[in-house]
């Protein structure tokens, strides 16, 4: 929109040094239409870009090189195209990030309908945590992203349905959702980016120092490792679920059936 201070067009080179009849571009393009029709590659090799292909490549990049490793130029290389070509499908990196978040939460399955409400929450917590472990490097982005794109609000709505089943009152259902989310989010983040995996300090202390100076930490450290992730998560998760189940008991009987005088479509 705004013209940058009179951009130097190629006119600079064209007018002054006219020795660019076709320029390096053309010469390189003698490879012609590049990959596809040229002699330097089998015809038909060029697969057209698509949002799906870009998202797949981006996910792979993130898991291989971390979130900062997802750059436009690297993405282009991975896709066999130029960096800017991606921008035709995702107008900015943020749009791409949104798509990645969407892809991640799309993998969170629906619990079997015959489970009782608390068991459904247990299932969903497991699904969310599994998603975090499926995309460990991407997960911080998912976790800190506002879910206010269409797929995001749909996801929240879906979750709230299950929480309403467990705690049929607007306020408590909302709070139970939040509380549940706090725990699962914190656990998944810590497991993927926290004490065992996250970005390290510039000058970390040595294990010998810990062994010598931090007896409690030395004793606890084994239980912070991967092998104990499941049991630790479950221990706290059951505490959470039990607490949420007990919230229902605090409701007056009438609220346990119909949260409010207002009628709302069930789904």
Partner DNA sequence: CAATATACCCTTACAGCGTAAGATTACAAG
Partner DNA sequence: CTTGTAATCTTACGCTGTAAGGGTATATTG
74-93 residues in contact with DNA (CB under 7 A) are 74, 76, 81-85, 87-89, 91-93
Residue 225 interacts with, from DNA, its own copies, none (CB under 5-8 Å by kind)? none
Cβ at position 233, least distance to its own copies in Å: 8
Residue 161 interacts with, from DNA, its own copies, none (CB under 5-8 Å by kind)? its own copies
Contacting DNA within 28-47 (CB under 7 A): 28-29, 32-37
Contact present, 152 and 146 (Cβ < 8 Å): yes
| Angstrom distance (rounded) from CA 184 to CA 139 | 12
- Which of 12, 115, 134, 195: binder of its own copies (CB under 8 A)? 195
| Angstrom distance (rounded) from CA 137 to CA 123 | 23
Q: Which is nearer to its own copies, 185 or 255 (CB)?
A: 185
- Sequence-ordered list of residues with C-beta below 8 angstroms from that of 162, at least 6 positions apart, any chain: 111, 117, 120, 121, 124
Contacting its own copies within 112-151 (CB under 8 A): 140, 143-150
Q: Which is nearer to its own copies, 40 or 157 (CB)?
A: 157
Residue 217 interacts with, from its own copies, DNA, none (CB under 5-8 Å by kind)? its own copies
Residue with tokens 């100076």: 213
Identify the three-state secondary structure at position 262. Answer: coil
Directed axis angle between helix 229-249 and helix 170-193, to 10°?
A: 170
Contact present, 80 and 35 (Cβ < 8 Å): yes
Is 175 among the residues that bind DNA (CB under 7 A)? no
Exposure b/e, 124-145, CB count within 10 A at least 16 = b: bbbbbbebbeebbbbbbbbbeb
Q: Which is nearer to DNA, 49 or 247 (CB)?
A: 49
CA 82 vs CA 78, 189, 241, 254: distances in Å: 10, 34, 49, 62
Is 99 among the residues that bind DNA (CB under 7 A)? no
Cβ at position 81, least distance to DNA in Å: 3
Read out DSSP for 64-120?
HH-GGG--HHHHHHHHTS-GGGGGGTSSSHHHHHHHHHHHHHHT-PPPPTTS-HHHH
Q: How many residues belong to the site for its own copies (CB under 8 A)?
A: 76
Cβ at position 258, least distance to its own copies in Å: 13
Q: Which is nearer to DNA, 3 or 226 (CB)?
A: 3
Q: Which is nearer to DNA, 21 or 206 (CB)?
A: 21
Stretch that binds its own copies, among 12-20, 58-66, 112-120, 208-216 (CB under 8 A): 208-216
- Which of 25, 201, 249, 254: binder of its own copies (CB under 8 A)? 201
Binding site for DNA (CB under 7 A): 1-5, 7-10, 12-13, 23-29, 32-37, 48-49, 70-74, 76, 81-85, 87-89, 91-94
């Amino acid at each position: 929109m705004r013209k940058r201070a009179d951009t130097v067009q190629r006119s600079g080179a064209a007018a002054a040094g006219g020795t660019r009849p076709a320029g390096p571009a053309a010469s390189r393009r003698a490879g012609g239409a590049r990959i596809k029709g040229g002699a330097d590659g089998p015809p038909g090799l060029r697969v057209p870009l698509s949002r799906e292909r870009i998202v797949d490549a981006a996910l792979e990049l993130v898991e291989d090189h971390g979130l900062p490793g997802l750059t436009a130029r690297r993405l282009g290389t991975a896709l066999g195209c130029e960096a800017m070509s991606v921008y035709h499908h995702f107008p900015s990196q943020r749009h791409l990030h949104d798509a990645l978040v969407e892809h991640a939460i799309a993998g969170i399955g629906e619990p079997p309908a015959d489970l009782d409400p608390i068991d459904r929450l247990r299932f969903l917590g497991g699904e969310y945590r599994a998603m975090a472990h499926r995309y460990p490097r991407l997960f911080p982005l998912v976790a800190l992203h506002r879910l206010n794109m269409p797929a995001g609000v749909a996801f929240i709505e879906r979750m709230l349905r299950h929480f309403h089943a467990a705690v049929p009152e607007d306020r408590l259902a909302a709070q139970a959702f939040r509380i549940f989310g706090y725990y699962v989010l914190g656990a998944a983040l810590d497991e993927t980016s926290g004490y065992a995996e996250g970005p390290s300090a510039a000058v970390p202390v040595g294990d010998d120092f810990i062994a010598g100076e931090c007896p409690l930490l030395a004793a606890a450290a084994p239980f912070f490792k991967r092998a104990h992730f499941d049991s630790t998560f479950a221990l706290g998760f059951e505490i959470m679920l039990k607490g949420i189940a007990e919230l229902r008991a605090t409701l007056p009987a009438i609220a346990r059936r119909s949260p409010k005088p207002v009628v709302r479509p069930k789904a």
